[in-house]
Chains A and B, each alone.
Chain A
Amino acid sequence: GENVEQHPSTLSVQEGDSAVIKCTYSDSASNYFPWYKQELGKRPQLIIDIRSNVGEKKDQRIAVTLNKTAKHFSLHITETQPEDSAVYFCAASIWGSTLGRLYFGRGTQLTVWP
């Protein structure tokens, strides 16, 4: 099955700096890569996703890049704010399948210091 590796496990940045979280996946059939943000005690919330027919997607301060050849994708957060502090999970799946099972990374605890 699919194996998703996520790095780093913890990341501390100063407010206003950029943060980058990287993930790799093993199954070349995976073509859908969502990112979820989970604040302490709350549900995982989808913040951005990308499909393999595009290499980059942006939504205001967040962006995701995908390198399908190398089987890795990254989350970029610019101008970080204290409210960006949370655990971020990457995931991989096969869009278009009947199952849609999400394979998650182990998460990155992002702390943004004011």
Chain B
Amino acid sequence: DAGVTQSPTHLIKTRGQQVTLRCSPISGHKSVSWYQQVLGQGPQFIFQYYEKEERGRGNFPDRFSARQFPNYSSELNVNALLLGDSALYLCASSPGLAGQETQYFGPGTRLLVL
């Protein structure tokens, strides 16, 4: 049984650029959540999607956006990148609503903004 997959694994961008990160949940999982993990800290919640609808948003600026596709995969977009956006971006999936199911994390995408 394949786990949560994310692509790319690593990414280097410059300030002001835009980036798109991708996540494929575990087969059968309908909920995807995105977290940002800055070096030395715990993951911080960005978004949750369930059945293609946004169910929650953390304290992140509008430069961050996401969507979920009919196959339940998801994309996280970040516009106008800042140095402070450098982090590991984690995707987590759960079978149903994340508040009622265990969440399983992907390996993350490490983003470096120069």
Which residues on A are within 8 Å of B, measured CB to CB?
Answer: 4, 6, 34, 36, 42-46, 49, 89, 91, 93-107
Known: A44-B90, A94-B99. A99 touches B43 (CB 8 A): no
- Contact, CB under 8 Å: A100 / B107: no
Residues of A close to B16: CB separation below 8 A: none
Select B99's contact among A6, A44, A89, A99, beta carbons within 8 Å: A99
The CA-CA distance from A56 to B31 in the complex, in Å, is: 29
Q: What are 8 sample pairs from A and B whose C-beta atoms fall under 8 A apart? A: A42-B107, A46-B102, A93-B99, A99-B99, A100-B98, A101-B48, A106-B41, A107-B41
Q: Given the complex of chains A and B, what is the CA–CA distance between A43 and B23 in angstroms? A: 13
Q: Are A99 and B98 in contact (CB under 8 A)?
A: yes
**Shortest beta-carbon distance, A57 to chain B, in Å?**
14
With beta carbons under 8 angstroms apart, the residue of B42, B56, B58, B104 that contacts A46 is B104
Q: Tell me whether B98 and A96 are in contact (CB under 8 A).
A: no
Contact A96 B100 (CB under 8 A): yes
Which residues of B have CB within 8 Å of A93? 99
- A53 to B94: give the CA distance in the assembly, Å: 22
Is there an interface contact between B103 and A102, defined as CB atoms closer than 8 Å? yes
Cross-chain contact A43 with B99 (CB below 8 angstroms): no
Complex interface: chain B residues within 8 A of A96 (CB): 99-100
Report whether B107 and A43 are in contact in the complex, using a CB–CB cutoff of 8 Å.
yes
Besides A93-B99, A107-B41, 7 new A-B residue pairs in contact (Cβ under 8 A), listed by A number: A43-B4, A43-B106, A89-B43, A97-B99, A102-B43, A104-B42, A104-B44
Most chain B CB inside 10 Å of its own CB: which residue of A44, A89, A97, A98:
A44
Cβ contacts under 8 Å, A97 to chain B: 97, 99-100
Q: Which residue of A lies closest to B100 (CB)?
A: A96
Q: In angstroms, how far is the closest chain A Cβ from the Cβ of B4?
A: 8
Given contacts A43-B108, A44-B90, contact A104 B43 (CB under 8 A): yes
Chain B, residues 40-53, CB within 8 Å of chain A (1/0): the string is 11111100101000
**Once the chains are docked, how many angstroms separate the CA of A96 from the CA of B33?**
16
